[in-house]
Every structure is written in C-alpha cells, then in structure tokens.
A and B are shown apart, each in its own frame.
Chain A
Amino acid sequence: MSAVHPDTIQQLRQEILLREGLRPPSAAAVDMGLGPVAAAFPQGVFPTGAMHELLSDGPEGAAAGGAWVAALIGRLMVGEGACVWIGPRGTFYPPALKAYGVEPDRVVFVDIRKEKEGLWAIEEALKCEGLAAVVGEISEVSFLASRRFQLAVEQSRVTGFLLRDRPRNRQPIATVARWQITPLPGGLAAPSMPGVGFARWNVELLRMRGGQPGRWEMEWREGRMRQVEGVEGVEGALPVRKGEVHRKTG
C-alpha cells in the first residue's frame, strides 16, 4: 500500500466534518474557557453555529444544565451579542444569569404555552442571523424537528442549545453534541470549611460528532470554568458508562 500523504487525510477529514454540518473553525473562534473539555471537540474548538442538547433528570439537573449553558452563552455574547431564551414562563430566574457572565437585559425571553409553539419559535429564532445564541427549554424534540433546527443554524451560524428535562424519547436527534450535566457535592476549597462552596458539576459529553465523548468534573469559580483540582489523574479519560454513548455509525 502506498503511503497516503498526511495532507490528503486532513483534507478528507475536513470534508467529512463539513458534510456532517460542522464548519471548520474560523480564525475568530471564541475561547469558551472550557479548559480540558475543549480537547473533546473536533480540532479542539467548541462548535459554534451548531445545535447542542442537554439532558437532565429533574429540576436539580436542569438547574445545573441551565448554568452550564449560561456560562457558555456568556462567552458567546461577549461584546454586543443578544440571546433569545425560549421556554415556559418563569422557570429560570433572570437576575441569576449575571453570575455566569450574562447580562440579563441582553436576553430576550419568549414564554411559550405549548411545545408546538416552542418548536416553531425556536426554529424562527435560529433563522435570525446575528444572534449569539438561542436557548430552548423543550423536552420533546423529534428527529425531524431537530433536523430543521440543524438546517436553520447551518444557514444562520447561530449556536442553539436545547434544554431537555426528563425527555420521554432519548433516541439520538440531529444535534452535534449531547451533554448531561449533574451537580456534584463538595465545591469547597477544604473539606473542613463551612458553607456550600462553589457550584461543581459532573459534565458528561455523551455524543460529539467528529469529536471524542468524555466526562469531566468542573466547577464554576471566580467567574470562570475550572476543572476540579485533585482529580487530574482521570482528566478526560473518565470512562463513560456503557450504553450512554450514541455514536452514529455507518
């Protein structure tokens, strides 16, 4: 077998990513401040202009997922950006977004009453070029709907997040990444200290198109995301429980 030129392989990889709905990162890629998690993304850059979904199992997990998204959109909205947050009325508390670097007055909240309305509103928002991010709190998203979202963001380059709390249907949908964020105890600098401490999460990347799924322990500390100290040994290599990885095959 003749030796294949490494450039050719690189080129082919790029092409595959493009066909999967991921564009090669531009020069002006945003630093998401995710530290070790970035290694899981294709070419080490957080995929903007794509759909991400976050699963949760109850309000506690939904709060953790919401905070994770807030931290991400805080980075995406740097400068003049605006964000549209679509969900049932009064679940998220706007003033709390400030703690994650989001100016709450730059977020437009759309209250929805029915899931069908939510799907329509999310798609319309995703088509709006120039938005930093669109967050949709919606549990049930069919594959067809997710495909429409994906097509919309490929056109408009908006980053979309779907917060899916207790979804009935956990089949893979057409998103580039599937996350699950769960709270972890003990965000204290030392175990003997009183109080609750920093928000600490178990971040699982269950699916990543063109990337490497993984699990990390992260905490929100002094306005930025950090990996929990003392567990470096398992960084990035924490085994993902079997059966939770849905990778597209074929």
Chain B
Amino acid sequence: MTIRRPALRDIAFVLAVPDHGRKVITGVNSIARNEGIDSGMAVADARVLYPTLEVIDEPPGLAARLLRALAVWCIRYSPVTAIDAPDGLLLETTGCDHLWGGEEAYLTQILYRLRANGYDVRGGMADTIGAAWAVARYSMSARGSGQGASIVPRGQATAAMLELPPAALRLAPDLVDRLQKLGLIRIGPVVRIQRRALQRRLGPELLLRLDQAFGIEEEPLLPVQPVLPYHERLPCLEPIGTTGGVAIGLERLLDMLCGRLQRDGKGLREAVFKAWRIDGRLMQAQIGTNRGSNHAPHLFRLFEEKIRGFEPGPGIELFTIDAPKTEDVSPLQKTLWTGACGPDDPRLSELVDRISNKLGAGLIHRYLPAEHYWPERAYAPARGFDDAPASVWPSDRPRPIRLLSIPERIEVAAPIPDYPPMHFRHHNTLHKIVRADGPERIEQEWWIDRAQHRDYYVVEDETGARYWLFRSGHYTGDHSNQWYLHGFFS
C-alpha cells in the first residue's frame, strides 16, 4: 500500500471493512499501532484516539490474494510453501536453509526481502509448525528487536513454548479467555495439569494444539503449488505454428523426461502434455499407462492420437510436460526380446496402454480365481498386471465355456422332482433332452446374498448341443419353480 501511495509512509492509517453497519479495522500500520489502535476496533473508536487517522476501504479479497501471491513468491526459498490464513505463510525449510548459509541467514534474508518490499513481517523457525507459529508471533525477541526473527534450535521447541502465553497455541479466542480467567497466563502451568482434566474441562482442541506444538501430533502442510518432481518445459524461440512442430516439441520433451526417469529408475503412470499458445489458450493432452514406463517412443505413440486435435493457431510459445504419477520400475532389458511374452512383458503392457488410451480405461481385464462356488463370483479381475493367482483355478466341476451374464428363463417339462427336465423351450425352439448329468447344487453364500440356491444340470439335446440349466430353489410341489438357462458347453 505504501508503495503505491508514498504519502502514506509517515502517517497513521488503517484498512477497514464495513461490518454490521459499522466499519471495523482489519489492518493497521505501525504508526497507528503505536497510538493504541489495533485491528478489530471500530473506526469510530479509533478516531476518538487519533482524530487524523486515515481510513482506507479494503477491497474485498485483497488480503487473501496478496497472501497467495506472497506464498508463490516464497517458492524460491522452499518448494513447499503453504498459506496459513488469515495472515501467515508456512515454509518447509528442511534441506533449504544451508543454501543461504544456515538457518539464521536464511530467515533474515527472507524477512529482509519482504520488508524491503514494504511488508511488516515477523518470522519464526522451529521444529514444528505450532512452535514456529508461536515464536513468530509471541516470542519476546520477535516482538522486541527490530530483527523480528526468532529461531528455536533443534529439539528445544517444548522448552521455548513453555514461556509463551496460551494464545500462542493457535486457540479460539474464547478458549484463550477462559484460560486467562483461570490464571493460566503461560503454557508451562497448562502442560503440568493432567491431560484428562484438560480434556474434560477445556475440550480436545487445547490438547490437539499442545501436541502439534510439541511435535507429538503430525501436522501436514498444504502447499500452494503441489510439488511435481517430474516436470519439463520447452520454450520456443519462435512460435510454433504447425502440427509437425508440436510433434517435434513433444518428442524432445519426452526424451528429456524419460532420460531423467531412467536415471532415477522410475517410470511414469500418468503424463500431461500442455501447449501454451500466444493468445493465452492452453491445450493439453493426458495419457495413462498401466505400468510405469520410461520408454519415450511408446509414450510418444500414446500421445500421438491425442495431439491430433491441437490447433497451433497463431503459434505455440511453450510446451510443458508433467508426470504427476510415477512409480519405481526395474531397468528395461536392453537386449532384443525375442522369446514368448508372458503377462509381465513390457510389449504386452504397451499394447494394453495403447488400447486403453484409445478405447477408454476399464475395458481390459485379467482374471484371477476367486474362492467362490457361485459361478458368477468364481473369478475376479486382477488389480495389476503383476498379480499372481492366490489359488489354483478349479477344474473338477464341469463349467460351460460360454456363460450368460444374466440367466435366461426357459420353460421346461420335468417328469418328477429332482430329475432333469425332458425338454425345454428357449427362444421359441424346443430342445428335447437326450442325456443329462446332475444335479449339482450350488448354494448362495449367505454372507453375500440371500437368494435361493440353484440345482444345475448339464443336458444334451438331440443335436448334440450341450447346455447348463438350473432350477432356482427347492421343489415345492404346488407351484412350479423357475428354470433358467445359464450357459453353453462346448
């Protein structure tokens, strides 16, 4: 704000938003704060304290936008940068600080750069998010000294926290008030109270915040930009205006990406190729593989179908490729593979990739035996291409080579109970049964479904065609049971 309007640098001003018919202060500069004005006050009250106070309306959403932009800017210091609404940024600094010559120099540098841009910032650094949050806001050194940087050495987060007020625990204001009323003005005495008593009297939030500050409870960071380790970009000197150029760009990017993947022993499962046009339009294509692949010609073939719809229009200035999903792969055998290929052969998985990218996923299955007698449940799709069957395929019972997914109703004439029928009618054709085997009773598994059991018969009609028929349920006598055709034997 002071950058845009330098005149504001030396006068007290506040930002305010209308709230319930009055104006509430949301931001205060340091001069105003010295006059005793703080955020949360009504503008009218503040004017009483300091009549010449400059009040500026805060554009809605400005703070959030600014914070986000700052978070993105901070990515230069650490790849994992998160927003801590409403007024904080969190940086995961593991493995970053040594690049700036130690923790102190690192934090000072960040704060210096931010202050140079006109932001009033304080910084803290500790083992846990909770402790860093607390020392940045409540540590004496952060408040007092002009540096505004307080660093808690490794392993001393607990000790540093004990001296701070309970508000440093990121608690709701009413909870802070209650602690204040109880005379708990430091975290130290709070910690000494039995956990059970705290839980009962003050609720679980306090315990959670304590655990987070002391590193007992894990606390995740949500980065503003997800970290993509496999990302390649290809800026173009001259805008690319032909589809041939797009293909060349894709090829170059894939070579770069696959080279990196091969060095790391990884293969990609998903890749997104993006083409940024001069006029701001973005075209993208996505592919997926069923097994990690770092074979550039294969990936190029998968993309080939998809990039056909790319219109270079006025020209493409930038190509990028991301691999959001990767997995470890065993190094490809370099020798030419000439033998028979089993289910784990890369050539087969490349074929499967091509088919599933063109026709859609979910159409390709490999089946494994499932330990169920019910015929429809006797096999289950394998989850991956490396799954080996956990049990052997049963072959002791006759099973038809063609099974109808839904059994078809047939009309039968059965002579006596528990006998195969004499003839049956299916699709208006009468089949006279000459030979029959059975019954084979298959019970419904009661823990899955509660329908009636089936009595299966293998029957052969006069032409030699063999069928699998079943009667649903018991013979009851007074009403005839329904018969079904379920499959065709060879």
Residues in A lying within 8 Å of B, measured CB to CB = 59-60, 62-64, 66-68, 70, 79-82, 84, 89-100, 103-113, 117, 120-121, 124-125, 128-132, 182-186, 188, 194-197, 199-201, 220
Contact = CB atoms under 8 A, between A and B. Distances in A.
Interface string B368-383: 1100000100110010
B64 interface: no
Given A183-B464, A196-B466, A60 B342 contact: no
B393 A103 contact: yes
Contacts of B351: 84, 124-125, 128, 131
Contact of B400 (A80, A96, A185, A188): A96
B378 A95 contact: yes
A82 B347 CA distance: 11
Contacts of B382: 105
A77 B405 CA distance: 27
A2 to B, nearest CB: 45
Contact of B401 (A63, A79, A82, A125): A63
A44 to B, nearest CB: 23
Given A108-B352, A199-B466, A63 B342 contact: no
Q: Interface residue tally of chain B, by bracket?
A: 35 or more
A185 B434 contact: yes
Kindly name the residue among A79, A93, A107 whose own CB sees the greatest number of chain B CB atoms within 10 A.
A93
A89 to B, nearest CB: 8
Interface string B167-206: 0000000000000000000000000000000000000000
Contacts of A195: 435-437
A110 B358 CA distance: 12
Contact of A106 (B342, B347, B358, B402): B342
Nearest to B343: A82
Nearest to A199: B490
B366 A96 contact: no
B142 interface: no
Nearest to B464: A185
A201 B490 contact: yes
A63 B460 contact: no
A109 B467 CA distance: 24
Contacts of A90: 403, 405
B431 to A, nearest CB: 10
B3 interface: no
6 contacts: A80-B341, A91-B402, A93-B401, A96-B399, A103-B393, A195-B435
A61 to B, nearest CB: 8
Given A66-B401, A111-B363, A132 B340 contact: yes
Contact of A64 (B342, B375, B437, B490): B490
A4 B350 CA distance: 51
B488 A112 contact: no
Interface string B387-409: 01100011100111111010000
B355 interface: yes
The B interface is mostly helix, strand or loop, or mixed, namely: mixed
Given A112-B363, A196-B466, A95 B393 contact: yes
Interface of B: 337-343, 345, 347-348, 350-352, 354-355, 358-359, 363-369, 375, 378-379, 382, 388-389, 393-395, 398-403, 405, 434-437, 458-460, 462-467, 487-490
A95 B345 contact: no
A128 B348 contact: yes
A117 B435 contact: no
Given A109-B367, A183-B463, A130 B337 contact: yes
Kindly name the residue among B355, B364, B388, B462 whose own CB sees the greatest number of chain A CB atoms within 10 A.
B355
B458 to A, nearest CB: 5
B354 A124 contact: yes
Nearest to A132: B340
Q: List the 7 closest A-B pairs by CB distance, nearest first.
A: A67-B490, A130-B341, A185-B464, A93-B403, A60-B465, A63-B488, A90-B405
A93 B487 contact: yes
A212 B489 CA distance: 29
Contacts of B437: 194-196
Given A108-B352, A117-B359, A196-B436, A185 B337 contact: no
A183 B488 CA distance: 11
A185 B460 contact: yes
A98 B343 CA distance: 17
Nearest to B458: A196
A211 B459 CA distance: 37
Contact of A82 (B348, B350, B459): B348
Given A66-B490, A109-B364, A201-B490, A130 B399 contact: no
Given A60-B465, A112-B363, A128-B350, 11 more contacts: A92-B402, A95-B367, A95-B393, A105-B366, A108-B343, A130-B345, A132-B340, A183-B465, A185-B460, A196-B436, A196-B459
Contacts of B395: 98-99
B367 A63 contact: no
Contacts of B488: 59-60, 62-63
A131 B435 contact: no
B489 to A, nearest CB: 6
Contact of B366 (A107, A120, A199): A107
Nearest to B370: A95
Contacts of B369: 95, 104-105
Contacts of A103: 393
A67 B400 CA distance: 10
A230 B366 CA distance: 41
A83 to B, nearest CB: 10
A65 to B, nearest CB: 8
A220 to B, nearest CB: 7
B202 to A, nearest CB: 58
Kindly name the residue among A112, A130, A132 whose own CB sees the greatest number of chain B CB atoms within 10 A.
A130
B364 A110 contact: yes
Kindly name the residue among B337, B395, B458, B459 whose own CB sees the greatest number of chain A CB atoms within 10 A.
B395
Nearest to B490: A67
A84 B385 CA distance: 13
Contact of A196 (B364, B375, B460): B460
A82 B379 contact: no
A96 B403 contact: yes
A131 B379 CA distance: 23
B400 A63 contact: yes
Nearest to A97: B401
A245 to B, nearest CB: 23
A139 B382 CA distance: 28
B462 A185 contact: yes
Nearest to A130: B341
A113 B360 CA distance: 11
Contact of B368 (A63, A105, A125, A129): A105
Contact of A67 (B389, B401, B435): B401
